Amino acid sequence: MGWLTIEHVGYQWIVGFISGLGYVLTLLLVPRVLLTKKRWPSSTVAWLMAIVTVPVVGGVLYLIFGIDRLKKRVSQRRIRRETMHRLRPVHGWSGWHTQEGFHESLRRLVRVAEVVGETTPTFGNSIQLYHETPKAFAAIRQALEASSQSIHLEYYIWQPDHLGTELRDLLIRKSQAGVAVRFLYDSVGSLRLSKAFLAPMRDAGIQVSAFSPGKTWRERWSFNFRNHRKIIVVDGRVAFTGGMNVGDEYLGLSQHFGYWRDTHLRLEGPAVLQLQHVFVTDWYSATGEELTKDVLFPPPTEAGTLVAQVISGGPDCEPSVFHSLMFSAIGEAQHTLSLETSYFVPTPSLSAALVSAAQRGVKTRVMVSGPVTYWTTYHACRSYYDELLDAGVEVYEYRRGQLHAKTLTIDGHWSLVGTPNFDPRSVYLNFEVAVAMYDQGIAMQLDEQFDRDVADTVQIDPLKWGQRSLWEQLKENTCRMFMPIL
């Protein structure tokens, strides 16, 4: 009985300590959340719910994920961007477009992109769309093999699997042949990259660096601000960007995800140098090395007739680049609007913009990932269907496999393809990049691909949707409540 009493007392002490810790964390963190979480009110509510309802766990999660440790470095990153902007070779930015022939709605979109994205449209580009990932990787391999001077790579996820190892070994061969190779990866997205995997790259002379939002240990102890960009620039003349990371799952080899539907771009022309500028700015931020040699910014040649504008954004930009751009583009739509996204958790204003577009007669179509995606994201996404369906938005769930494309087309003449999803993480927290294209041909290709994808979807029927069970509604609304912090 004595031992039982001691154990019982010990148990009570542990429970009391945890309860006390929970109360202390709640008292300390609730005022902090109220004072600091202002950008998106629902995020404030979600964190308060987590801290109050699950005191210790919610408090610890907030300390890891919720605190903005990047704020103190925002001004420094802006200075670095401005520094690289001044140092880049002037001749690398010929090929800009005067907007002649653009109608008023396109001019307004150019203006928004110029103001928030600090870039201008460029003329003379050639852009190839890839919707099948094996074809995209084949084009990437070909470009890497043909490199003669430099290869720059920036990725959110690079898996040390068969595909990741194959491309790594290709880069090693090119470096040994005298090509300057630089590889920037996100320290959380590419968490599986080990020292053993990277060692052969460094031994071959490849410069490797991890992206992190800050320099100090305290600033790095944050999982929120991730570099979600996917960029390859070869010799300053050929570039790739879009939704694809590097890993076997992107070839459709994952048993869970199955077939992988993505959209990626191959670019030639002046827009390549804008992607190069995004890379060298991120490289400078990560390593302090200034990449300003003329060889990295060769005078662009006219590769085609397409007008394109590379836009980058992140948590160091105010206002939010992609939130402003997406909101403005949806507001400009007069006839058609097609959106494909892997994660659909719109901010209140973006949701209202879609609803408004449908209400004013715009044929508004939204395609999202089906049930193979993350459980919480899937159900949170479904919580938005009611308001969309009531307004007349056509909603499709992709069922063939994983839909990972991030595309938006407006009225058959403006398109946005890149890395940002239609969710708060992309528009507020991640470092993202995309290409705005002012071209009917590209918009038509994207709309035609949307039509083909419809065959692999289930369209949500408004009448049947309204009859779903209360249990389904409970799951959706619960996940929606916590999505701003996930």
Nearest to 376 by CA among 470, 468, 484, 471: 484
Helix, strand, or coil here: 471?
Answer: helix
Mean confidence (pLDDT) of the chain:
86
Active site residue 228: yes
**Average pLDDT, integer, range 85-110:** 70
Global pTM value: 0.86
Query: Residue 91: what pLDDT?
Result: 45
Q: Are residues 325 and 300 located together in one domain of the fold?
A: no
Quick one: which H or E segment has residue 61? Answer: helix 55-61
**Is 113 within a domain?**
no
Check whether 69 has a pLDDT greater than 80.
no
Q: Which of 37, 131, 152, 228 is catalytic?
A: 228
Task: For residue 167, give both structure tokens.
Answer: 């491309």
Side-chain half-sphere CA neighbours of 478 within 13 A: 8
Q: Are residues 259 and 350 located together in one domain of the fold?
A: no
Question: CA–CA separation, 140 vs 244, rounded Å?
Answer: 11
Check whether 388 has a pLDDT greater than 60.
yes
The residue out of 306, 339, 363 marking a domain boundary is 306
Q: Are residues 302 and 341 located together in one domain of the fold?
A: no
Check whether 370 has a pLDDT greater than 50.
yes
Q: Which of 174, 404, 413, 475 is catalytic?
A: 404
pLDDT classification of 478: cutoffs 50, 70, 90: confident
Looking at per-residue confidence, does 44 or 405 come out higher?
Answer: 405
Check whether 76 has a pLDDT greater than 70.
no
Check whether 44 has a pLDDT greater than 80.
no
Query: Residue 50: what pLDDT?
Result: 72
Cα 75 to chain centroid distance, Å, stands at 22
Question: CA–CA separation, 98 vs 126, rounded Å?
Answer: 18
Active site residue 235: yes
The residue out of 241, 273, 306 marking a domain boundary is 306
For residues 30-54, one letter each, b for 16 or more C-beta atoms within 10 angstroms of the residue's C-beta and e for the rest, the string is: beebeeebebbebbbbbbbebbeee
**Is 372 within a domain?**
yes
Instruction: Write the DSSP assignment of 292-334 as a string of letters.
Output: --GGGSPPPP---SEEEEEEEE-TTSSS-HHHHHHHHHHHH-S
Q: Are residues 205 and 266 located together in one domain of the fold?
A: yes
Q: Are residues 300 and 226 located together in one domain of the fold?
A: yes
pLDDT digits (tens, 9 = 90+) for 190-233: 999 999 999 999 999 999 999 875 555 454 545 667 899 999 99
Q: Are residues 149 and 227 located together in one domain of the fold?
A: yes
Q: Which domain holds residue 126?
A: 122-306
pLDDT digits (tens, 9 = 90+) for 168-188: 999 999 999 999 999 999 998
CATH of the domain at 197: 3.30.870.10
Q: Are residues 347 and 394 located together in one domain of the fold?
A: yes
Q: Are residues 50 and 136 located together in one domain of the fold?
A: no
pLDDT classification of 429: cutoffs 50, 70, 90: confident
**Is 79 within a domain?**
no
Query: Residue 485: what pLDDT?
Result: 55
Q: Are residues 286 and 345 located together in one domain of the fold?
A: no
**Is 116 within a domain?**
no
Count of domains in the chain? 3
Q: Are residues 290 and 343 located together in one domain of the fold?
A: no
Q: Are residues 197 and 334 located together in one domain of the fold?
A: no
Q: Which of 174, 186, 235, 439 is catalytic?
A: 235
**Is 232 within a domain?**
yes
Q: Which of 37, 230, 277, 413 is catalytic?
A: 230
Q: Are residues 201 and 267 located together in one domain of the fold?
A: yes
Active site residue 323: no
Question: CA–CA separation, 453 vs 372, rounded Å?
Answer: 16
Question: CA–CA separation, 202 vs 199, rounded Å?
Answer: 5
Check whether 36 has a pLDDT greater than 60.
yes
Query: Residue 263: what pLDDT?
Result: 98
Q: Which of 262, 282, 316, 411 is catalytic?
A: 411
pLDDT digits (tens, 9 = 90+) for 351-363: 999 999 999 999 9
- Find out whether the peptide bond into 319 is cis, omega within 30 degrees of 0: yes
Active site residue 103: no
Helix, strand, or coil here: 124?
Answer: strand
**Is 88 within a domain?**
no
